[in-house]
């Protein structure tokens, strides 16, 4: 079988879900990091849709993080992300679905509302891996991209407030859902834990998240993080990343080797 290939946005939580599953299963894979806004033609050619992540596995282009994990479970069953027990498996998949629908889109809308006024930070988070020419093009389009993103994701002060309260409700629910083991289902790490932690990453910003934004966090985001940093779901996310995020299984290509070297030299003076 050819080496699996992942088309992704670096700083996206749904992409982090698929990436984490590949890394957890130690599946050597190639990553293609796309620039939001400039990704459409590439992704449409593969899937007929525009969203990432997309995984090319055994000749098939699979879009949607849950479908990607389902396919990985089939092809690389160990280590498993789905529980063997049928009831626990059903519950883990229900929770994956719940966080995909009730947390992912809302936390994204809330956090983008907070960071879009800081184009330098947005660029650092999403574009810093790209070639200098692509970065220049993105910079020129930057004001337009902000407008388009607000429209596409329905971001305005009122929808952002709803998104904030939906995110907090999901975090409160997660606290109630945690089992005595510290996991969401049964007594081991499953797809439910991976999904909840990955989708909370834009707020929690765990140090193990694989891509660093080479710019300081915008002040309003610092304040929000400080305010929720004692929430049990926030602390649980940090712990889950610490214990389970593990190492990247990305196969180094010339482009990724350049990015990794450059990121390492920049992280000393910047935050995520």
Ligand X SMILES: N[C@@H](CCC(=O)N[C@@H](CS)C(=O)NCC(=O)O)C(=O)O
* Binding stretches for ligand X (CB under 6 A): 9, 12, 14, 50-53, 64-66, 100
Both tokens assigned to 12: 């996206």
Q: How far is the CB of 64 from ligand X (least distance, A)?
A: 4
189 C-beta neighbours (distance < 10 Å), count:
21
Q: Using the 8-state DSSP alphabet, how is residue 29 labeled?
A: B
Q: Name, in order, each residue with C-beta under 8 angstroms of 131's C-beta and a sequence gap of 6 or more.
A: none
Is the torsion defined by CA of 143, 205, 50, 161 positive or negative? negative
Distance of closest approach, residue 222 Cβ to ligand X, in angstroms: 22
CB of 100 to ligand X, least distance (A): 6
Q: What is the 3-state secondary structure (H, E, C) of 151-170?
A: HHCCCCHHHHHHHHHHHHHH
Distance in Å, CB of 29 to ligand X, minimum: 16
Nearest to 234 by CA among 91, 80, 97, 107: 107
Q: What are the structure tokens assigned to 85, written together? A: 């027990």
Task: Report the alpha-carbon distance of residue 73 to residue 174 in Å, rounded.
Answer: 24
Q: Closer CB to ligand X, residue 7 or residue 189?
A: 7
**Nearest residue (CB) to ligand X, 145 versus 233:** 145
Report the interhelical angle of 232-244 vs 191-204 (nearest 10°).
110
Comparing CB distances to ligand X, the nearer of 12 and 190 is 12
Measured between its terminal Cα atoms, the distance across the chain in Å is: 36
The whole-angstrom separation of Cα 48 and Cα 73 is 24
Which CB, 29 or 186, lies closer to ligand X? 29
From residue 7, alpha-carbon distances to 51, 82, 87, 108, 248 in Å are 10, 24, 33, 19, 15
- Smaller CB separation from ligand X, 11 or 237: 11
As measured in angstroms, the least distance from the Cβ of 181 to ligand X is 26
CB of residue 59 to ligand X, shortest distance in Å: 20
User: Shortest Cβ distance from residue 23 to ligand X (Å)?
Assistant: 17
Q: Which is nearer to ligand X, 153 or 252 (CB)?
A: 153
Q: Which residue has the tokens 């400080």?
A: 226
Nearer to ligand X, 159 or 182 (CB): 159
């Amino acid at each position: 079988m050819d080496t699996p290939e992942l088309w992704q946005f670096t700083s996206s939580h749904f992409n982090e879900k698929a990436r984490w599953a590949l890394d957890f299963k130690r599946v050597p894979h190639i990553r293609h990091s796309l620039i939001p806004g400039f990704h459409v033609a590439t992704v449409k050619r593969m899937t007929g849709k525009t969203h990432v992540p997309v995984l090319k596995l055994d000749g098939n282009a699979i879009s949607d993080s849950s479908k990607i994990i389902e396919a990985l479970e089939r092809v690389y069953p160990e280590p498993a992300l789905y529980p063997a027990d049928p009831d626990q498996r059903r519950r883990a998949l229900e929770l994956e679905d719940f966080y995909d629908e009730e947390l992912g889109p809302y936390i994204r809308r809330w956090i983008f509302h907070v960071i879009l006024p800081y184009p330098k930070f947005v660029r650092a988070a999403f574009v810093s891996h790209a070639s200098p020419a692509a970065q220049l093009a993105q910079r020129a389009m930057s004001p337009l991209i902000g407008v388009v993103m607000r429209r596409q994701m329905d971001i305005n002060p009122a929808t952002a407030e709803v998104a904030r309260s939906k995110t907090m409700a999901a975090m409160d629910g997660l606290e109630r859902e945690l089992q005595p083991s510290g996991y969401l289902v049964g007594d081991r790490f499953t797809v439910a834990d991976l999904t909840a932690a990955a989708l909370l990453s834009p707020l929690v910003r765990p140090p193990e998240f694989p891509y660093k934004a080479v710019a300081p966090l915008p002040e309003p985001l610092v304040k929000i993080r400080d305010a929720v940093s004692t929430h049990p779901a926030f602390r649980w996310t940090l712990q889950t990343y610490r214990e389970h995020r593990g190492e990247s299984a990305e196969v180094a290509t010339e482009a990724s080797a350049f990015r990794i070297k450059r990121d390492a030299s920049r992280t000393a003076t910047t935050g995520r």
